Amino acid sequence: MKGKRYASVTAREARLALWMLLPAFLIVFAVIVFPVVANFWISGKSVSLGDLRPATPSLREFVAQAPSEAGDELVLEYRLRNSSRGVPIQDVVLEATVPEGLSPAPNDAPAAPDAQHCSIEAGRIECRWDEWEGGFSDTITFTFIADQAFFDAQVDMRSPTEADISGRSINVLTTFDFTLDNFRFVVSARRFWEVLRTTFAYPFLGAIGSILLGLTAAMLLNRKFPGQTLLRGLYLFPYVAPIIAVAFTWVFLLEPFRGTLNTYLMSIGVLESPISFLSTRSIQIGDLPFPLALSIVIFFDAWRYFPFSFLFILARLQAIPSDLYESVEVDGGGMVRQFISITLPQLHSVITTLFLLRFMWTFNKFDDVFLLTGGAAGTRTLPIQVYDNAFGRGDIGAGAATAVVLFLFLAVFLILYFRYVVKED
Amino acid sequence: MSRTASTVRPFTLGGVALAGAAGVIATWLVTYVGYFVVSMLNPSNILPNLGPTAAIGLVLGVALAQMGPALQKQKGLAVGIGLVAGVVWLGLTMAFGVALPLTFLVTTLAMFAIAGLSIRSVFLGVDVAHLRKDYVEAVVFRLVRGILLCAVTLVVALPFFFMLSLSFKTRAEYLGDPTNLSVNLIQPIPELFSGFIEVLVRFNFGVYIFNSTAIALLTVVITVTTGILGAYAVTRLRFPGRRFLSKAILLIYMFPAIVLVIPLYSVFTQLGLRDTRHGLLIVYSAMTIPVALYMLRSYFQTLPADLEEAGLIDGCSRAQVIWRITIPLSGPAIASVGLYVFMIAWNEFLFAFMFLDTPAIFTLSRGMMVLDDMEVPRQLLMAGATIITIPIMVLFFRFQRYLVGGLTAGSVKG
Shared domain check, A216 and A311: yes
Best residue in B50, B135, B213, B259 for a mutation probing chain A (most A CBs within 10 Å): B259
DSSP state letter for A276: -
Please, which residues 227-246 of chain B have a Cβ atom closer than 8 Å to chain A?
227, 229-230, 232-234, 237-240, 242, 245-246
Domain assignment present for residue A95? The answer is: yes
B408–A contact, CB cutoff 8 A: yes
Per-residue pLDDT of chain A (425 residues; tens, 9 = 90+): 445 555 677 787 788 888 888 888 888 888 888 888 888 888 877 777 777 777 778 888 888 888 887 778 888 888 888 877 777 888 888 888 888 777 777 664 444 556 677 877 777 888 888 888 878 888 888 888 888 877 777 777 777 778 888 888 777 777 777 777 778 887 887 788 888 888 999 999 999 999 999 999 998 888 887 788 888 888 988 998 999 999 999 999 898 888 888 888 888 777 788 888 888 787 877 778 888 889 999 999 999 999 989 988 988 888 888 777 777 777 766 677 778 888 888 888 889 888 988 898 899 889 999 999 988 888 888 999 899 888 888 888 888 888 999 999 988 888 888 887 766 44
Among A30, A252, A371, select the one facing B378 at the smallest CB separation. A252
Best residue in B36, B117, B165, B262 for a mutation probing chain A (most A CBs within 10 Å): B262
CA distance linking residue B289 with residue A399, whole number of Å: 27
B263–A contact, CB cutoff 8 A: yes
Quick check: B214 pLDDT over 90?
yes
Distance from CA of B164 to the nearest CA of A (A): 10
Taking only the tens place, the pLDDT of each residue in A171-222 is 777 777 777 777 888 788 778 888 888 899 999 999 999 999 999 999 888 8
CA distance linking residue B201 with residue B193, whole number of Å: 12
Residue A287: its pLDDT value, please?
Answer: 77
- Looking up residue A157, the CATH number of its domain turns out to be 2.60.40.290
Taking only the tens place, the pLDDT of each residue in B81-127 is 888 888 888 887 777 766 667 777 888 888 888 888 888 888 877 77
Q: Give, rounded to a whole angstrom, the gap between the first and last alpha carbons of chain B.
A: 53
Give yes or no for a contact between B285 and B226, defined as CB atoms under 8 angstroms apart. Answer: yes
Cβ separation A248–B318 shorter than 8 A: no
User: What amino acid occupies position B158?
Assistant: L
∠ Cα A380 A384 A390 (to 5°): 135
Residue B3: its pLDDT value, please?
Answer: 46
| Cα-based torsion angle of the residue sequence B308, B313, B314, B315 in order, rounded to the nearest 10 degrees | 100
B197-409 to CATH, choices 3.30.465.10, 1.10.3720.10, 3.40.720.10, 3.40.50.300: 1.10.3720.10
Domain assignment present for residue A414? The answer is: no
B144–A contact, CB cutoff 8 A: no
Residue A204: its pLDDT value, please?
Answer: 94
Shared domain check, A161 and A201: no
Distance from CA of B82 to the nearest CA of A (A): 20
Shared domain check, A235 and A145: no
Judging contacts by C-beta atoms under 8 Å, the chain A residues touching residue B160 are 237, 241, 249
Chain A: residue whose CA lies nearest to B382: A249
Domain assignment present for residue A210? The answer is: yes
Q: At what angle do helices B378-398 and B364-371 cross, to 10 degrees?
A: 160
Judging contacts by C-beta atoms under 8 Å, the chain B residues touching residue A252 are 162, 166, 378, 381-382
Q: Break chain B into its structural domains and give their ranges.
A: 2-166, 197-409
Shared domain check, A164 and A196: no
Judging contacts by C-beta atoms under 8 Å, the chain B residues touching residue A23 are 225-226, 229-230
Please, which residues 60-119 of chain B have a Cβ atom closer than 8 Å to chain A?
none
Cβ separation B263–A386 shorter than 8 A: no
Cβ separation B400–A233 shorter than 8 A: yes
Residue with the bigger pLDDT between A259 and B3: it is: A259
Judging contacts by C-beta atoms under 8 Å, the chain A residues touching residue B148 are 216, 220
Taking only the tens place, the pLDDT of each residue in B141-170 is 888 888 898 889 989 998 998 898 888 888
**Cβ contacts of residue A60 below 8 Å, gap of 6+?**
A78, A79
Best residue in A210, A224, A249 for a mutation probing chain B (most B CBs within 10 Å): A249
Q: Please identify, among A170, A203, A236, the residue that sits at the C-terminal boundary of a domain.
A: A170
Best residue in B209, B258, B353 for a mutation probing chain A (most A CBs within 10 Å): B258
Shared domain check, A243 and A369: yes
Residue with the bigger pLDDT between A422 and B346: it is: B346
Best residue in A225, A240, A381, A384 for a mutation probing chain B (most B CBs within 10 Å): A240
Please enumerate, as own/partner, the contacts of A170-177 that have beta carbons within 8 Å and a separation of 24 or more: A170/A87, A170/A88, A170/A90, A171/A54, A171/B270, A172/A45, A172/A47, A172/A51, A172/A52, A172/A86, A172/A87, A173/A41, A173/A42, A173/A45, A173/A47, A173/A52, A173/B266, A173/B267, A173/B270, A175/A45, A177/A45
Shared domain check, A304 and A374: yes
**Given pLDDT bands bounded at 50, 70 and 90, which one contains residue B348?**
very high
Judging contacts by C-beta atoms under 8 Å, the chain A residues touching residue B240 are 14
Domain assignment present for residue A268? The answer is: yes
Q: At what angle do helices A292-318 and A228-240 cross, to 10 degrees?
A: 130
Give yes or no for a contact between B334 and B227, defined as CB atoms under 8 angstroms apart. Answer: no
Judging contacts by C-beta atoms under 8 Å, the chain A residues touching residue B174 are 258
Cβ separation A13–B232 shorter than 8 A: no
Cβ separation A354–B414 shorter than 8 A: yes
Among A16, A240, A246, select the one facing B237 at the smallest CB separation. A16
**Given pLDDT bands bounded at 50, 70 and 90, which one contains residue B413?**
very low
CA distances from residue A392 to A60, A396, B41 in whole angstroms, order as listed = 32, 10, 43
Domain assignment present for residue A119? The answer is: yes
Cβ separation A334–B134 shorter than 8 A: yes
Quick check: B399 pLDDT over 60?
yes
The count of structural domains within chain A is 2
**Given pLDDT bands bounded at 50, 70 and 90, which one contains residue B281?**
very high
Judging contacts by C-beta atoms under 8 Å, the chain A residues touching residue B238 are 10, 13-14, 17
Judging contacts by C-beta atoms under 8 Å, the chain A residues touching residue B302 are none
Shared domain check, A363 and A240: yes
Given strand A137-146, what is the order of strands in its sheet?
A57-65, A73-82, A137-146, A102-104
Q: Which domain holds residue A115?
A: 55-170
